[in-house]
Structure 1
Amino acid sequence: MNEQDLKRAFQDVVVASSPPPSMDPGIALGRAHKARSKRRASITGAAVAVLVVGVGLGSAFALNPQGTTNYLVGAGQSSSSNPGMPGSQWGEKWPVGQSDRTATNGPQADRGVQLLNALMASAQAGGFETPKLKYQAPEYQNGEMQRTRAQISTNKGQTPEVWVYTAHVPVQKNGKVGMMLAEVSMPRPSDPAEPCALAKRFWGMSEATCKVRDVNGVQVGDASSQEEGRVMQWMSYKAPNGWTVNIAQNASYEGSGYPGLDGNPFLASELATMATDAKFLLGS
Structure 2
Amino acid sequence: MMDGQQLREALRDEMTNLNSPPPLDTQAVLGTARRARTRRRTIRACVGSAAAVVAVAFFGTFASPGVGGGWSPAAPLIGGPSSDDDTASPWPTGPDGLPQEDRTAKAGTRYDRGAELLDQLRAVVPAGYTVPQAPEAPSHQAQYEQTVNGVDVWSYTSSVPLAKGEWTGTVLVEVHTAGNQLATDPCALARQFWGMQGNCEPMTVAGAHVGVVVGPGGDDRFDQWAAYRHPDGVVVFVAQAMNRGSNQQGGIELPFSEAELAALAVDDRFHLE
The amino acid of 1:277's aligned partner reads D
Which of the residues 149, 169, 176 maps onto 1:178? 169
3-state secondary structure, aligned to 1:263: coil
Which of the residues 248, 257, 260 maps onto 1:267? 257
C-alpha change, 1:239 and 1:233, in structure 2 (3 Å) is same
Cα distance in 1, alignment partners of residues 119 and 70 from structure 2: 26
Cα distance in 2, alignment partners of residues 145 and 263 from structure 1: 22
CA contact (8 A) 1:166 1:182 kept: yes
Which of the residues 262, 268, 271 maps onto 1:278? 268
3-state secondary structure, aligned to 1:99: coil
CA contact (8 A) 1:236 1:275 kept: yes
Structural RMSD (CA): 3.5
- The answer to whether the aligner puts 1:163 opposite 2:154 as a matched pair is yes
| Alignment partner, residue 132 of structure 1 | 133
| Alignment partner, residue 69 of structure 1 | none
Structure number with larger C-alpha Rg: 2
Cα distance in 1, alignment partners of residues 248 and 139 from structure 2: 19
Q: Mind listing any 5+ residue stretches in structure 2 that lack a counterpart? A: 1-60, 62-66
3-state secondary structure, aligned to 2:102: coil
- The answer to whether the aligner puts 1:146 opposite 2:138 as a matched pair is yes
CA drift at 1:250? 1.0
C-alpha change, 1:260 and 1:88, in structure 2 (3 Å) is farther
3-state secondary structure, aligned to 1:123: coil
Q: Mind listing any 5+ residue stretches in structure 1 that lack a counterpart? A: 18-86, 135-143
Cα distance in 1, alignment partners of residues 84 and 240 from structure 2: 30
C-alpha change, 1:14 and 1:109, in structure 2 (3 Å) is farther
Cα distance in 2, alignment partners of residues 148 and 200 from structure 1: 22
| Alignment partner, residue 237 of structure 2 | 246
3-state secondary structure, aligned to 2:222: coil
Report which structure shows greater RCO (CA 8 Å, sep ≥6). 1
CA contact (8 A) 1:251 1:265 kept: no
The amino acid of 1:132's aligned partner reads Q
CA drift at 1:145? 3.4
More strand by share: 2
3-state secondary structure, aligned to 1:264: coil
3-state secondary structure, aligned to 1:161: strand
| Alignment partner, residue 100 of structure 1 | 102
Residue-pair matches, total: 195
Cα distance in 2, alignment partners of residues 14 and 260 from structure 1: 45
- Structure 1 runs (4+) greater than 4 angstroms displaced: 1-10, 12-17, 257-261
3-state secondary structure, aligned to 1:162: strand
The sequence identity of aligned pairs, in percent, is 32
The TM-score normalised by the length of structure 2 is 0.61
| Alignment partner, residue 82 of structure 1 | none
Q: Which digits, 9 at most, give the CA deviation of each residue in 1:119-163, with x for residues without a partner?
A: 111114x442222221xxxxxxxxx431111100115x9622001
Cα distance in 2, alignment partners of residues 226 and 123 from structure 1: 26
3-state secondary structure, aligned to 1:203: helix
C-alpha change, 1:129 and 1:90, in structure 2 (3 Å) is closer
| Alignment partner, residue 232 of structure 1 | 223
CA drift at 1:277? 0.7
Cα distance in 2, alignment partners of residues 110 and 15 from structure 1: 28
C-alpha change, 1:184 and 1:215, in structure 2 (3 Å) is same
The amino acid of 2:105's aligned partner reads A
CA contact (8 A) 1:149 1:166 kept: yes
The TM-score normalised by the length of structure 1 is 0.59
The amino acid of 2:211's aligned partner reads G
Q: Which digits, 9 at most, give the CA deviation of each residue in 1:13-68, with x for residues without a partner?
A: 49999xxxxxxxxxxxxxxxxxxxxxxxxxxxxxxxxxxxxxxxxxxxxxxxxxxx
